[in-house]
């Protein structure tokens, strides 16, 4: 096809290829979810419908897009890690990020009813996205550790804060004052002595967030087959890759030792 005189505008596109050999992390975060949570009556501090919908949407991202080896989510955010050797969309940052964000957002709306039932979605939610490159396994693990530490710090704070308000009768301003300058030990102590809550017994998925990975699962099914005009029942075992959810510590070595297929070698 002959080129039009307008063709030159293509040259205004800038190159945003992600550096080779690096893990590509796309992190999404809900836009103004403080308001979104209020307007949709999210339970405080954790709404299991909302967390479930986030993870359902993240699962859809992993299943529909290529090369994501692990995703980690908490609160209104999810991080997606593309394997370091990925060449999906020639590693173009804008393509990767927008595919993740749009697949996630449309899934969030598509699956809303599965989690919120008759409660209507009042307006279209949005998610921002960013791309960060990590050149080593250590850097990538430290990134994920940072997000899980953030989950822990916020969840501990929010658990005490909402106990003080909802069970202790404090105003939100009073609860904020009460928690000013407290360290983790103080917060655990308030929970234990005033509300009879042992923080370590709080639900794992609230304390640790959710890690999604691909795992091989053996699926055994029975099949009817015909052998020389006779119906026979046989069991068939197939190994299939499935996205599985984990609510465990991902900061220490154990998780990574148990799942050595997630990371590629550093050299």
Binding-site residue ranges for Mg(2+) = 29-30, 76
Q: Is 138 in the site for ligand DGT (CB under 6 A)?
A: no
Mask for 22-61, x = binds Mg ion (CB under 5 A)? -------xx--x----------------------------
Nearer to ligand DGT, 59 or 206 (CB): 206
Identify residues 62-81 at the interface with ligand DGT (CB under 6 A): 75-76
**The only residue of 22, 28, 33, 67 in contact with ligand DGT, by rule CB under 6 A:** 33
**The only residue of 17, 19, 21, 32 in contact with ligand DGT, by rule CB under 6 A:** 32
Q: Do 159 and 47 touch, CB atoms closer than 8 A?
A: no
Q: Is 77 in the site for Mg ion (CB under 5 A)?
A: yes
- 164: tokens are 């003080």
DSSP designation for 66: S
**The only residue of 42, 78, 112, 161 in contact with ligand DGT, by rule CB under 6 A:** 42
Cα–Cα distances in angstroms (integers) from residue 96 to residues 4, 36, 77, 125, 239, in the given order? 29, 26, 17, 20, 29
**CA 218, CA 220: separation in Å to the nearest integer?**
6
Identify residues 10-29 at the interface with ligand DGT (CB under 6 A): 29
Cβ-count burial 167-184 (b if 16+ within 10 Å, e if not)? ebebeeeebeebbeeeee
Q: Is 155 in the site for ligand DGT (CB under 6 A)?
A: no
DSSP characters over 106-170: HHHHHTHHHHHTTSPP-S---EEEEEEEE-SHHHHHHHHHHHHHHHHHHHHHHHHHHHHHHTT--
Half-sphere exposure of 61 toward its Cβ, with a 13 Å CA cutoff?
34
Min dist CB 247 to ligand DGT, Å, is 15
46 binds, among ligand DGT, Mg ion, none (CB under 5 to 8 A by kind): ligand DGT
Nearer to ligand DGT, 75 or 86 (CB): 75
Contacts with ligand DGT by CB under 6 A lie at 29-34, 37, 42-47, 50-51, 75-76
């Amino acid at each position: 096809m002959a080129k039009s005189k307008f063709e030159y505008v293509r040259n205004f596109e800038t190159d945003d290829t992600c550096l080779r050999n690096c893990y590509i992390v796309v992190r999404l975060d809900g836009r103004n979810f403080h308001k979104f949570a209020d307007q949709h009556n999210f339970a405080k501090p954790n709404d299991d419908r909302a967390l479930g919908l986030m993870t359902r949407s993240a699962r859809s991202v992993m299943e529909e897009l290529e090369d994501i080896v692990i995703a980690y989510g908490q609160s209104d955010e999810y991080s997606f890690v593309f394997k370091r050797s990925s060449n999906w969309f020639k590693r173009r940052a804008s393509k990767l990020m927008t595919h993740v964000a749009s697949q996630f957002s449309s899934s969030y709306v598509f699956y809303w009813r599965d989690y919120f039932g008759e409660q209507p979605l009042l307006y279209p939610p949005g998610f921002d996205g960013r791309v960060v490159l990590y050149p080593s396994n250590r850097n990538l693990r430290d990134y994920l550790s940072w997000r899980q530490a953030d989950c822990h710090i916020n969840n501990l704070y929010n658990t005490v804060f909402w106990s003080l308000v909802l069970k202790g009768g404090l105003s939100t301003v009073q609860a904020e004052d009460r928690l000013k300058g407290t360290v983790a030990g103080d917060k655990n102590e308030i929970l234990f002595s005033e509300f009879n809550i042992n923080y370590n017994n709080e639900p794992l998925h609230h304390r640790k967030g959710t890690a999604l990975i691909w795992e091989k699962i053996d699926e055994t099914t029975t099949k009817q087959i015909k052998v020389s005009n006779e119906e026979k029942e046989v069991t068939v075992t197939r190994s299939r890759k499935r996205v599985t959810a984990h609510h465990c510590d991902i900061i220490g070595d154990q998780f990574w030792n148990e799942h050595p297929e997630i990371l590629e070698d550093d050299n």
